[in-house]
Amino acid sequence: MNADLILGEVLAMFSMQALTPLFSVTKLVNAAYYQLGPDFQWPGERHDFWEVVYVDRGEAVITADEEEFTLKAWEMVFHCPNEWHNLRAAEGKTAGVIVIAFVCDSPGMEAFRRRVIALGPQERQCLTTIVREAERAYVYFENRAPHVKLVRREDAPLGAEQVIRANLEQLFIYACRGSAAGRAEAPRMNSNALNHHSEMVERTKGFLYAHIHEKITLARVAAEISVSPSHLKRVFREQTGQSVIAYLTDMRVRRAKQMICDHQYNFSQIAEAVGFDSVYYFSARFKKYTGMTPTDYARSVRR
C-alpha cells in the first residue's frame, strides 16, 4: 500500500485545533498584598500599563481620574493604562488589598476598562496563587506600599513566571464569564446561606487581624464566632482557598515584612508583635514563606 495514502488516512482521523489566547499577559510589574492602615497616605500615580486592586478585607476608597468610590471586600477594580488613580483605606478603618500591575495588549482587556467586579471563588483562588508565587519568585524592594521593585530570586520556583501568567489570564477569563452570566456587577452573595458564609469569613479575618499577636487556634476562632471548628474549617477554605491557620501565617508574615521595612523594631520585637513564640520560630516561618531570612529581607529593603 502506498505510504502516502496510509499517512493521509491517519491524518484524517485527527483534527488539530488552534489554541488562540483571549488574553496574553507579557510582563509583570507588581503582585503583592498590603495592609492599609487608617493613616495610609499615597499621592497616586499614572502609568502606561494595567493595574488591578482587589480588596480582601475591609473597604478601600478608590480614585480613578475624577471619580471616587468605595471598593468593598471581594471586589476588584481595573485601572487602565494612563488613568490617574489612588487608593486609601476607608475613614477610620483598615483594609487588606492585593495590587497587581501588568502589561497586556490584548483587545479583550477593553471589556474591563473602568470596571468594578465582584469576584467568585475561582477568581479569588487565582489571586491567591499569583501573590504566593510572586512572593516565592521575587525579592520585593519596598519602602511604603505600593512602591515596589521586583527582582527575580536565584532560587525562584521552576516556571514561576508561567504560573503567574496563566493565573492572571485565567482570572480575566473567569471574570468575563461571570460578566456574561450577569454576576460581575451583582452583589457578592445572593442567598442567605452564602451571606452567612461571607459574614463568617469576614468575622474570622477581623478576629485574626485584631489578635495577630496572640496564640490562636482553630477552636478559639470557631468559639469566638459561634460555629463548630469543622464548619469554620470547611467554609473558610471554600471561600478563600486557604485554611484558617495558613491565612493567619500569611497575615503574620506580611505584617512582619511591613515592620521590618519601618526599621524601628528588632526581630524579637517583631516576632512577639506578630504572634510567634520565639525569634527562632519566627525566622524559620518567615524564610519558608518568603525564601529569605528576616536578616536577608532587611538588607534587601535597605538597598
Percent of the chain with pLDDT over 90: 22
* Whether 45 contacts 32, CB under 8 Å: no
- pLDDT for the residue numbered 215: 86
- CA-angle at 137, arms to 135 and 139, nearest 5°: 65
What does the block give as the cell for 189?
452573595
Nearest to 136, CA basis, from 110, 154, 116, 111:
154
What does the block give as the cell for 205?
479575618
* Topology adopted by domain 25-180: Jelly Rolls (2.60.120)
| For residues 123-139, average pLDDT | 89
Q: Name residues whose C-beta falls within 8 Å of residue 114's C-beta, 6 or more positions apart in sequence.
A: 64, 67, 78, 80, 83
| For residues 38-62, average pLDDT | 87
| For residues 52-63, average pLDDT | 89
What does the block give as the cell for 271?
516576632
Question: How many CB atoms sit inside 10 A of residue 249's CB?
Answer: 19
- pLDDT for the residue numbered 227: 81
**Is residue 162 helix, strand or coil?**
helix
**What is the CATH code of the structural domain delimited by 192-302?**
1.10.10.60
- pLDDT for the residue numbered 186: 37
- pLDDT for the residue numbered 151: 86
**Is residue 123 helix, strand or coil?**
helix
* Whether 254 contacts 246, CB under 8 Å: no
**Is residue 1 helix, strand or coil?**
coil
Question: How many CB atoms sit inside 10 A of residue 14's CB?
Answer: 6
pTM (predicted TM-score): 0.62
Query: What does each C-alpha distance from 186 to 18, 63, 183, 189 come to in angstroms?
Result: 34, 21, 5, 8
What letter represents residue 11's amino acid? Answer: L
* DSSP-derived secondary structure for 124-149: HHHHHHHHHHHHHHEEEEESSTT-EE
- pLDDT for the residue numbered 8: 63
- Of 14 and 5, which is predicted with more confidence? 14
Per-domain boundaries in the chain: 25-180, 192-302
- Of 14 and 191, which is predicted with more confidence? 14
**Does position 170 have pLDDT exceeding 90, yes or no?**
yes
